Amino acid sequence: MTGLNVLELRGLGKRYGDQWALRDCTLALPAGRVVGLVGPNGAGKTTLLQLAVGMLAPSAGEIALFGRDPREAKSVLPRIGFVAQDSPLYRTFSVADTLTLCRLLNARFDEAWARDRLGKLRIPLERKVGELSGGQRAQVALAVALGKRPEFLVLDEPVASLDPLARREFLTALMDAVAEDGISVVLSSHLLADVEHSCDYLILLMAAEVRLDGDLDDLLAAHRLLVGPRKRATAGGGIAAVVRESHSDRQSTLLVRIDGPILDPAWLVHEVDLEELVLAYMVEQHEPRLRSLPRLEANG
């Protein structure tokens, strides 16, 4: 299993004081995927990513990157690329200085490739990083992260500060690079459109816990939107669990996890898109998951 998974978490938790930023997180990220990490602000996305690259130490549980502790910096650092939130770079450095820094601090850094890439994006190398636009700075950060030729690339909200056009350009550039090298990527975003556009694997974090994770297509295939006359939702007959239900006077709308064809002909069955799926899981948290699931199953 370890050979196939780039990152494995078992019961991983991070606590600040008595506040858990991340709790009981168990995941296995397959290699070669582009993983979208989504969730509202403060859900623990940044904490999870920084744990993954060894910038933070866990308070509980275990984490393995390439089968080892990510904080074994000497062996891990050359194999990862990391762009933290807001793409921090030295603002007083020129772009060329930034490339020099990366060349000197990394045993293998493909400076020619990074220069070439920035040239194509028409980012002036002699310009100070602090004088670049947000989009250009994000591109520089991505270029130097990719220039390390990493096996595992971690991007924390890489497009948050970009306008829609720059965002699309950035993600396209990322996808091209990933397709070239077949590297594993985790990127966090609070914008589902970005994830839908670029990712094939999803992790949803809610209030410091993993609510949902899996292959994006598998997740979409495993859920349906049911619309029909007003009635209580029950498990069974193809419904594995009701994720979210809403009832108007005459009509009920359910988002369900399925384990077979929906047998009840009263339901009109629709496929779900990513946004419906994620929103359903985000709202459901008001009702604790562990209590609601057994009740539904008992009814079935």
**Site residues, other proteins (CB under 8 A):** 50, 53-57, 71, 73-74, 77-78, 80-82, 84-86, 88-91, 93, 97, 100-102, 104-107, 109, 141, 148
Nearest distance in Å: CB 159, other proteins: 17
Work out the end-to-end distance of the chain between its first and last CA atoms, rounded to an integer number of angstroms: 35
Nearest distance in Å: CB 82, other proteins: 4
Beta carbon nearer to other proteins, 143 or 278: 143
Sheet hosting strand 239-247, strand order edge to edge: 239-247, 251-258, 223-229, 268-271
Nearest distance in Å: CB 75, other proteins: 10
Burial of 165 (0-12, 13-18, 19+ CB in 10 A): exposed
Nearest distance in Å: CB 70, other proteins: 10
φ, ψ for residue 147, nearest 5 deg? -60, -20
DSSP conformation class of 191: -
Nearest distance in Å: CB 250, other proteins: 53
The CA distance from 157 to 23, in Å, is: 21
Beta carbon nearer to other proteins, 44 or 212: 44
**CB-CB contact of 279 with 206 (8 Å):** no
Beta carbon nearer to other proteins, 148 or 244: 148
Beta carbon nearer to other proteins, 100 or 292: 100
Specify the amino acid at residue 130: G
Beta carbon nearer to other proteins, 110 or 264: 110
3-state SS class at 138: helix
Beta carbon nearer to other proteins, 20 or 267: 20
Nearest distance in Å: CB 90, other proteins: 6
Strand 223-229 relative to strand 201-206, pairing = unpaired
The CA distance from 287 to 185, in Å, is: 32
Beta carbon nearer to other proteins, 19 or 248: 19
Beta carbon nearer to other proteins, 89 or 219: 89
What count of other Cβ atoms lies within 10 Å of the Cβ of residue 197?
16
Nearest distance in Å: CB 190, other proteins: 18
- 213-250 in b/e form (b: 16+ CB < 10 A) is beebeebbebbbbbebeeeebebeebbbbbbbbeeeee
Nearest distance in Å: CB 163, other proteins: 22
What residue ranges in the chain does DSSP mark as E strands? 5-16, 19-30, 34-38, 60-65, 80-83, 152-155, 184-189, 201-206, 209-215, 223-229, 239-247, 251-258, 268-271
